[in-house]
Structure 1
Amino acid sequence: MARLWTWLREDVWEIRFRRYVALTLAAVLAGLGVWGGMTATKENRSCAPGVVQPKGSDECVGVSWTTYAFGRAQFADTVRAIHRENARLAPGSYVTVALLEPFTATDADNLGDVLHELQGAYLAQYQANHDTTDLKPKIRLVLANPGSTGTYWQHTVDQLAGMTGGSDRLRAVTGVGLSTDNNKKAVQELTSRGIPVIGSSITADDLANGQNGKDPFPGLARVSPTNTDEARALASFAKVSAANAFLVYDRTGDPYTRTLQASFEKMLKGSRYEAQPFTPPADRSKEGSTSNVFMQITNILCNTPTTTNTILFAGRHTQLRQFINMLGQRGCHDRRFTVLTGDEGSYLAGDKDLDPAALKDPLLTVRYTSLAHPDAWLKDAAKTGGSAADAKVLQSLLGGAGKEPVGPLGPIALDDGQLIIAYDAMRLAVRGIRGASPTGKIPALADVGLQWPQVKGNELRVNGASGWICLDAHGNPYDKAVPIVQLTPESRARFVKIAWPEGKPPSAECLPPA
């Protein structure tokens, strides 16, 4: 027993001694700054102020207000211009607007889209802050990245919600980008927290208010037509008939493709042929094996009567490109086909993977609804719904975009319409912010989203570069101009004609009917 007691005392002493040595060593290392440095290195996942790298990810997400360009060199010039504009704003004179986009996208087409939306939002910010009437409050622009596919939307939305107070005074979020399930969740969460959202290029019907009389996104406004309105405009232009049309659609779908499919199906009631589905990868920017399915679908098309000459395509741009390439290799080269699709077609202008031979085929035509086009308003052919004068306001800004004080912004491209539509979305955000406080004081967050139903009529509409923006009671643009665009053999976007959801331009007062 005595021997056991001795052994226990020695064991306890040894444990205490080791603990003492460990604590002493930690104190010494901390004093030298080594321990703290080791811990910080392990835990510090910061990429830049406001931006972090989530565990298990190689992306940097969050909200940036510095010159950080999310590792994308093509954004650097515009991000520096935004930072310079923000820096000149006097404390207390501004509110913040966040541009929500996938700044870490990897797909070249998506990156081009984000760049153009970044440039358009900045140009509208610069215009608002340098207006000759010196209207207030001024606008500070920050960049919000939810990840390349929106995976980290919750993190970024939480961060944005925390910016509504203090010196940030966030009053709106614009952009949003693609109509995806993750972006839909982000919009739902932002609006549920009372943060107004202005969608630039979202077109999905289920990412809009007013469907079945309900408003699931209180405070959401949009500058682009819904897929249903785009389809109606396309139908009025192309005179689509169920007797001669064939539908190809994304089986699994996302908010954009699902609602575009539904819109096309309404046009094809009574069609003689069953629609043909395809199943793309979960990340629709990836190639996958969808081309094999499209090769088989083209064989089916070749077996239809020659009167079946219109193909309605409800899918994303990568799959659209694959489908066009396969059509260019179809066995029935003597058959004429016209492919009609939504605004995802705008991504194909300049797509290096698009087979030039397919577009040079005189019997194959590819047309799509664009959100905007630089040639749409060269003349006031429509008489109402927009004007050449409105479009020239943006053109004058672009004239100075190559150097300070406006630029430089890097290469400018307008054919895909993204810069134009993002410019108009930011202008609508500014209209809501300043309309909520005519005296120029900082408006209450809750008041900004209440402005959308009154954006209409001769005086209160936004005379956008993409056409008039007259919002209905649910924040949707009424009878918005829809440019019909055709892909040329050189893979460029050629403007064809303006079409209208209502079949004709809105009246001069631009008031939605009851």
Structure 2
Amino acid sequence: MADGVGSPLARWLREVWEIRLHRYLALLVTAAVLTGLVFAVRAVTDEDRSCAPGVARPAGGDECVGVATDAYDFGHPQLREAVRAIDRENDRLKTGSYVTVALMLPYTASTPSTLSDIQHEVQGAYLAQWQANHTSNGQAPAIRLVLANPGATSGHWQTMVDQLERMAKGADRLRAVAGVGQSTDNNKKAVAELTRRGIPVVGASITADDLANGQNGKDPFPGLARVSPTNTDEARALASFAKVEAGRALLVYDKPGDPYTRTLQTSFTALLKGSPYEPQPFTPPADRTQEGTTANTFRQITHLVCDTSAETDTILFAGRHTQLRQFVNALGTRGCQNRRLTVLTGDEGSYLSGDKKLDRTALTHHLSVRYTSLAHPDAWVNAPAGLPGGSAGDAKVLTDLLARSAREPVGPIGDIALEDGQLIIGFDALTLAVHGIREATPDGATVPPLADVGLQWPQVKGSLRVSGASGWICLDVHGNPYDKAVPIVELHADGGSRFVRIAWPEGRPPATECLPPS
């Protein structure tokens, strides 16, 4: 007789099937849990670290570094309107009709003074881009501007350089890098690697002598041009203005220093041959934007200043702006209040113009602080017509653009400030980059060969000079500006600063033809 549903065989088969089903279900549940864990681990280990197109956080870091190709402000609202203006201008460009220039600055910096400088330099570079694309009678190529960030201290410069090289070789047609930021060791490495890979660089505010070509007859940065004088030229201009006497001056310097402070120290030392006083060192934090304990050192140095003879009236300061501010504050409480003292320093002094931590009452205690500025809005306002080296008309090109920058089509670009000179020098640096790019573009072509752009710098002189808003830019064969106008500026006790007068590295303006001597 056949087995029925309730037969022993049927019951046995059903039990076997149920056991196997339970096992299969358990295996499926386990597999699902494991799969979920795998995806969860991947979600953690393969975290999306992008910040914006072209910009990402490197492993182990929180900074967004790389090259931003859209309206990304790196988390700083004060940059927002300027980067949006750049993005609007970039969107107007026709595919294939432009080349790219990268503005290299430490966009993830956090100190207010540095961010202020970055904002102003971005604004100046954008205005130069707008002028190149709209007021050049259709000259080719058009200019696309992108923002290249090596990190707050340029610690990620290698990542940025690799990306820029890919852009130079690819559809972006990168043809120059402008800006650079301060003269630091990391920026020196970045410029060295960019130029080694054949990418031209135009420095805006770099002034260190060892971040320049032509030192000891060598050109370690082929394709580098600069719109700012070297520290040596700034010191020579300062000396010609102040008539520094070695017997009445004292040097205070950063030890061990960085490219900016070391070369400024060297330049000042040359002015003080025969001084009866040994230079006084201070050692700041490695990140010179930090306060550290140097304020204590400066308090002690002020005692030594007062111990010098009554004829000592000048202090040459080779240091960064944070330490300069600490030193000025300390001098405000020095013991010899009745002795008149003048502190002379390089272009880092411009940061103090808006530094809220500066004790301006120190400037009412027989103390003057004067510095060489890279540019100043009052430098050419009342310049006599025909004075070589620059003109009010050249400066007016920028001020006219600024007048239109509050609204479209030029702006808005955010709050404007010119006293620190960064907007002006940013404008001139990108203007020089555009000049090189267009001079290297063959007749009938729209894109110059990358290798030819950096070859243009030795010819930027005479009638081929760039008439910048900061003054004439006449380059020597090494890409350095010859006898560039150096505004001397003084901090004001009531706030801000005031233009004193223009000084010249050669002691006088360049000749009308602006041709560097052999």
- Compute the TM-score of the two structures, normalised by the length of structure 2: 0.92
Query: Paired residue for 2:447, among 438, 442, 450?
Result: 442
Deviation string, structure 1 residues 341-400 (Cα, Å, up to 9, x no partner): 000000000210000211222x10000000000000012338100000000000000001
Query: Paired residue for 1:39, among 28, 43, 51?
Result: 43
Q: Shift of residue 407 of structure 1?
A: 0.7
The equivalent residue for 1:366 is 369
Q: Shift of residue 131 of structure 1?
A: 1.6
Q: Distance in 2 between matches of 1:429 and 1:80?
A: 22
Listed as ranges, the matches of 1:65-104 within 5 Å are 65-104=69-108
Q: Distance in 1 between matches of 2:228 and 2:35?
A: 62
Tell me whether 1:396 sits opposite 2:400 in the alignment: yes
Q: Distance in 2 between matches of 1:132 and 1:270?
A: 53
Distance 1:280 1:28, change over 3 A: closer
Query: Paired residue for 2:218, among 214, 220, 224?
Result: 214
Query: Paired residue for 2:236, among 232, 236, 247?
Result: 232
Structure 2: tracts of 5 or more residues without a match: 1-23
Q: Distance in 2 between matches of 1:59 and 1:270?
A: 48
The equivalent residue for 1:11 is none
Tell me whether 1:376 sits opposite 2:379 in the alignment: yes
Q: Distance in 1 between matches of 2:114 and 2:358?
A: 16
Distance 1:354 1:25, change over 3 A: same
Matched position secondary structure for 1:484: strand
Q: Distance in 1 between matches of 2:494 and 2:422?
A: 20
Is the CA contact (8 Å cut-off) linking 2:98 and 2:446 kept in structure 1?
A: no
Query: Paired residue for 2:300, among 292, 296, 302?
Result: 296
Query: Paired residue for 1:163, among 152, 162, 167?
Result: 167
Q: Distance in 2 between matches of 1:84 and 1:27?
A: 48
CA RMSD of aligned residues (A): 1.9
Tell me whether 1:424 sits opposite 2:431 in the alignment: no
Distance 1:190 1:132, change over 3 A: closer
Deviation string, structure 1 residues 42-69 (Cα, Å, up to 9, x no partner): 4311111111111222211110011111
Q: Distance in 2 between matches of 1:369 and 1:466?
A: 13
Distance 1:170 1:27, change over 3 A: farther
Tell me whether 1:254 sits opposite 2:258 in the alignment: yes
The equivalent residue for 1:454 is 459
Query: Paired residue for 1:407, among 370, 392, 411?
Result: 411
The equivalent residue for 2:343 is 339
Is the CA contact (8 Å cut-off) linking 1:164 and 1:445 kept in structure 2?
A: yes
Listed as ranges, the matches of 1:108-123 within 5 Å are 108-123=112-127
What residue identity is the alignment partner of 1:449?
G
The equivalent residue for 2:14 is none
Query: Paired residue for 1:25, among 15, 22, 32?
Result: 32
Please identify the structure whose Cα radius of gyration is greater: 2
Q: Distance in 1 between matches of 2:46 and 2:165?
A: 28
Q: Distance in 2 between matches of 1:36 and 1:67?
A: 32
Identity %: 67
Tell me whether 1:309 sits opposite 2:313 in the alignment: yes
What residue identity is the alignment partner of 1:143?
L
Q: Shift of residue 35 of structure 1?
A: 2.7
What residue identity is the alignment partner of 1:452?
W
What residue identity is the alignment partner of 2:204?
S
What residue identity is the alignment partner of 1:25?
A
Distance 1:55 1:304, change over 3 A: same
Is the CA contact (8 Å cut-off) linking 2:394 and 2:468 kept in structure 1?
A: yes
Q: Distance in 2 between matches of 1:481 and 1:467?
A: 6
Distance 1:262 1:80, change over 3 A: same
Matched position secondary structure for 1:43: coil
Is the CA contact (8 Å cut-off) linking 1:208 and 1:217 kept in structure 2?
A: yes
What residue identity is the alignment partner of 1:405?
P
Matched position secondary structure for 2:472: strand
What residue identity is the alignment partner of 2:451?
A
Q: Distance in 1 between matches of 2:497 and 2:142?
A: 36
Q: Shift of residue 89 of structure 1?
A: 0.0
The equivalent residue for 1:6 is none
The equivalent residue for 1:479 is 483
Q: Distance in 2 between matches of 1:420 and 1:21?
A: 68
Is the CA contact (8 Å cut-off) linking 1:26 and 1:35 kept in structure 2?
A: no
Distance 1:276 1:438, change over 3 A: same
The equivalent residue for 1:153 is 157
Deviation string, structure 1 residues 202-221 (Cα, Å, up to 9, x no partner): 00000000000000000000
Deviation string, structure 1 residues 103-152 (Cα, Å, up to 9, x no partner): 01011100001111100000000000002511110000000000001110
Q: Distance in 1 between matches of 2:64 and 2:494?
A: 36
Distance 1:23 1:407, change over 3 A: farther
Q: How many residues align?
A: 493
Matched position secondary structure for 1:243: helix
Deviation string, structure 1 residues 219-266 (Cα, Å, up to 9, x no partner): 000000000000000000000011100000001100000000000000
Is the CA contact (8 Å cut-off) linking 2:183 and 2:260 kept in structure 1?
A: yes
Tell me whether 1:245 sits opposite 2:249 in the alignment: yes
Is the CA contact (8 Å cut-off) linking 2:113 and 2:354 kept in structure 1?
A: no
Q: Distance in 2 between matches of 1:498 and 1:316?
A: 22
Q: Distance in 1 between matches of 2:380 and 2:311?
A: 35
Tell me whether 1:497 sits opposite 2:504 in the alignment: no
Q: Distance in 1 between matches of 2:249 and 2:30?
A: 78
Q: Shift of residue 412 of structure 1?
A: 0.3
Q: Distance in 2 between matches of 1:181 and 1:21?
A: 58
Q: Distance in 2 between matches of 1:166 and 1:255?
A: 33
Is the CA contact (8 Å cut-off) linking 1:359 and 1:491 kept in structure 2?
A: no
Matched position secondary structure for 2:246: coil
Is the CA contact (8 Å cut-off) linking 1:351 and 1:491 kept in structure 2?
A: no
- Compute the TM-score of the two structures, normalised by the length of structure 1: 0.93
The equivalent residue for 1:9 is none
Q: Shift of residue 333 of structure 1?
A: 0.7
Structure 1: tracts of 5 or more residues without a match: 1-16
Tell me whether 1:272 sits opposite 2:279 in the alignment: no
Q: Shift of residue 41 of structure 1?
A: 7.4
Is the CA contact (8 Å cut-off) linking 1:150 and 1:182 kept in structure 2?
A: yes
Q: Distance in 2 between matches of 1:473 and 1:53?
A: 40
Tell me whether 1:64 sits opposite 2:71 in the alignment: no
